[in-house]
Amino acid sequence: MRNIYHEGSRKLQKHFTVKPLADRLAETIILADISLEDQAFISEQNMFFMATVDAEGSPNCSYKGGGKGFVKVIDENTLAFPSFDGNSMFLSMGNILQTNKIGMLFIDFERQARLRINGCASIDLEDPLLQEFHEAELVVRVKVEQIFPNCPRYIHKMKMVEKSKFVPNKACKTPEPDWKRLEAVADVLPEKDKHLAGNEQDRFKAINR
């Protein structure tokens, strides 16, 4: 497991005289294996925040949502999650193809708990797990390098009001996003979405939603 601290971290630890505390925390809470407790926590989550970086070091932060347990624990060192239909920019997925670096932040706002994961991500366009994720375009596998909890004191307590209707569900047809009916993209939609070009009324609804 690589050292989580670098020169920048050490400079601030020295300034605030907390290096011994930082070292003790790194020794005791940062693991390379996914514990049974962490597996249970991950299986209860329906969202996480994802950080990636491109070959030039430019970061990108993204939100990923799905059904509860959409991030699967494959083994004690590996996670997998689906990438559903998005905005076609593939910023995060493209970064993964370039550098393989990923950071994942799970937050349970009701329980006020969070879990951080840093690792090495990979994408196989023919991944056999594609069949297990309804309507997934891609599957990302993450080799965990560091997994650790964070102090929850600044997490605001919130409750989920409603699940997103756009999360793929085998029991019903997934609705199409209104932005695909915008005139600005009507002529560049992929073949599977050509039927969404819509009329002026549809476009007006999409713009004003």
* Residue 38 burial (CB count, 10 A): 20
Task: Check residue 21 and give its pLDDT.
Answer: 96
**Amino acid present at 81:** F
Residue 82 neighbours by CB under 8 Å, 6+ apart: 66, 70, 130, 133, 136, 137, 138, 139, 140
pLDDT score of 1: 57
State how far the Cα of 51 lies from the Cα of 149, in Å rounded to an integer.
Answer: 17
Q: Is 88 helix (H, G, I), strand (E, B) or coil?
A: coil
**How many C-beta atoms lie closer than 10 Å to residue 171's C-beta?**
5
As given in the structure block, the two tokens for residue 149 are 């909890």
Mean pLDDT of all residues belonging to the chain: 92
Domain covering 31-149, topology: Pnp Oxidase; Chain A (2.30.110)
Look at the alpha carbons of 36, 40, 43, 47 in this order and tell me if their dihedral is positive or negative. Answer: negative
Handedness of CA 156, 162, 165, 171 (dihedral sign): positive
The alpha carbon torsion through 191, 195, 198, 202 (nearest 10 deg) reads: -100
Q: In 3D, which of 96, 92, 90 has the Cα closest to residue 124? A: 96
User: Residues spanned by CATH 2.30.110.10 within the chain?
Assistant: 31-149
Q: Supply the pLDDT for residue 45.
A: 97
Amino acid 194: pLDDT: 86
- From the centroid of its chain, how far is CA 28? 26
Which regions in the chain score pLDDT beneath 50?
Answer: 200
